Amino acid sequence: MPTYKCTASCEHCGTLSHPRETTWLPIEQMLKAIDEAADLGYNVVVFTGGEATLAGQNLLKGIERASSHGITVRIVSNAHWATNDRMAERRIGEFVRAGLTEINLSTGDQHARFVPLDNVIRAARAAVKAGLRAMIMVETVLERIITKEVVENHPEFQDICNQFPSSKINILESPWMPLSPSTLNKYPDGVTVNRSNLALCKGCDSILTTTTIQADGQIAACCGLGMRKIPELKLDSIRETKLATADQTAGEDFLKRWLRVEGPERILAWASDHKSNIEWENMYAHRCQACMRIYTDPEVREVIAKHHKEKIADVLLSEWLMFHYNPLAQVN
Ligand code: SF4
Ligand code: SF4
């Protein structure tokens, strides 16, 4: 996260970003983190924020450094810079020359208060034209104007698909979550988690797999929304610590390992089995909001502190299955 600064100030921004933010990750720390990630075998470097493109030359240097290690490089942007086709192609050209391979563009009703959907589609066109993989992420709540369908049916989007039929462009809807476990959004049917769909909830594939360097240098053990509000997800500062040391520290934390194999929804359900007044069904659509509940609700924390030992064997078995079980291995 090169900066927390953003051109927009969306309600419920997961990183608490806004135009008045002035936190910037120094370039030396950014490059140090990228070099260490390359040494550790990380596959992808993602520049997000805040609005990562505000980092200008430092962003380009970061992309170049990650690309020089042969790592896939992605940026996440609100496309504020794609004010016309010429500007969109100019910025995309700079990113591609630096080594960018993928771009995620965020939109939805909140984003569109600050950046028109047309910008996002212009940026997507320029990206596809330059051969990048592009993903348009659309915020999802119950009542909204911008949906996946709206983007798909946008004449300019259809024109992109017709003009570049083999392009790698996708649209993905993602629940828009408040940064508090007690503020609840309304979502379309079937999006929130409850006992009937709990079996579909898998382990968190970000924790202990994705490491985030935040704009203030704090290392976090996942790329979850709300990490700025969950002290336990912060590990140390990239100024003083190596990425490998931070990753190792995170890997020794039982709750993080439990989240990796079961995910926050199943942990919440387990906690409510121990204490029936812990309500959770049909409250959360985004798993990071369920995770905030685990980390911030004193009752859930108390249940975890008191009873987590009963889950140790399950977690260890799941980890063994995850990392060591080979169904093709022959039994003698
Ligand atoms: S565009 Fe993204 S980073 Fe910026 S305020 Fe909105 S949600 Fe936050
Ligand atoms: S569910 Fe929790 S651990 Fe996973 S990404 Fe979200 S905040 Fe991080």
Q: Which ligand is nearest to the CA of 286?
A: 2
- Beta pairing class for 102-107 and 72-77: parallel
CA of 309 to the centre of ligand 1 (A): 39
Q: Which atom of ligand 2 is nearest to the CA of 291?
A: 2
Nearest CA to ligand 2 atom 1: 288
Share of the chain above pLDDT 90, in %: 85
Return the exposure string of 257-285: e unless at least 16 CB atoms fall within 10 Å of the residue's CB, then b.
bbbbbbbbbbbbbbbbeeeeebebbebbb
- The whole-angstrom separation of Cα 80 and Cα 114 is 8
- Ligand 2 close to Cβ of residue 255 (< 6 A): no
| In the predicted structure, residue 332 carries a pLDDT above the cut 80 | no
Q: Which ligand is nearest to the CA of 14?
A: 1
- Ligand 2 close to Cβ of residue 206 (< 6 A): yes
- Computed over every residue of the chain, the mean pLDDT equals 94
| In the predicted structure, residue 49 carries a pLDDT above the cut 90 | no
Q: Where does the pLDDT of residue 226 fall: very low under 50, low under 70, confident under 90, or very high at 90 and above?
A: confident
Q: Where does the pLDDT of residue 328 fall: very low under 50, low under 70, confident under 90, or very high at 90 and above?
A: confident
Cβ atoms of 2 and 59 closer than 8 Å: yes
Q: Where does the pLDDT of residue 184 fall: very low under 50, low under 70, confident under 90, or very high at 90 and above?
A: confident
Q: Which atom of ligand 2 is nearest to the CA of 206?
A: 5
CA of 112 to the centre of ligand 1 (A): 11
| In the predicted structure, residue 225 carries a pLDDT above the cut 90 | no
More confident residue, 328 or 9: 9
CB-based pocket (< 6 A), ligand 1: 6, 8-10, 13, 15, 17, 49-51, 78, 106, 111
| In the predicted structure, residue 24 carries a pLDDT above the cut 70 | yes
- The whole-angstrom separation of Cα 21 and Cα 4 is 6
| In the predicted structure, residue 238 carries a pLDDT above the cut 70 | yes
Q: Which ligand is nearest to the CA of 222?
A: 2
Over residues 31-37, the mean pLDDT reads 97
Domains annotated on the chain, with CATH: 1-176 (3.20.20.70), 194-332 (no CATH)
- Ligand 2 close to Cβ of residue 264 (< 6 A): yes
Query: Residue 50, preceding bond cis, omega within 30 degrees?
Result: yes
Mutate to test the pocket of ligand 1, among 111, 117, 228, 229 (most ligand atoms within 8 A of CB): 111
CA of 132 to the centre of ligand 2 (A): 28
Mutate to test the pocket of ligand 1, among 9, 13, 139 (most ligand atoms within 8 A of CB): 13
E strand intervals along the chain:
44-47, 72-77, 102-107, 133-140, 169-175, 212-213, 218-220, 234-237
Cβ atoms of 15 and 4 closer than 8 Å: yes
Q: Where does the pLDDT of residue 185 fall: very low under 50, low under 70, confident under 90, or very high at 90 and above?
A: confident
Give per-residue pLDDT as tens, 78-90. Answer: 999 999 999 999 9
- The whole-angstrom separation of Cα 136 and Cα 172 is 6
Over residues 255-262, the mean pLDDT reads 97
Mutate to test the pocket of ligand 2, among 202, 206, 297, 300 (most ligand atoms within 8 A of CB): 206
Token output for 312 = 């140790």
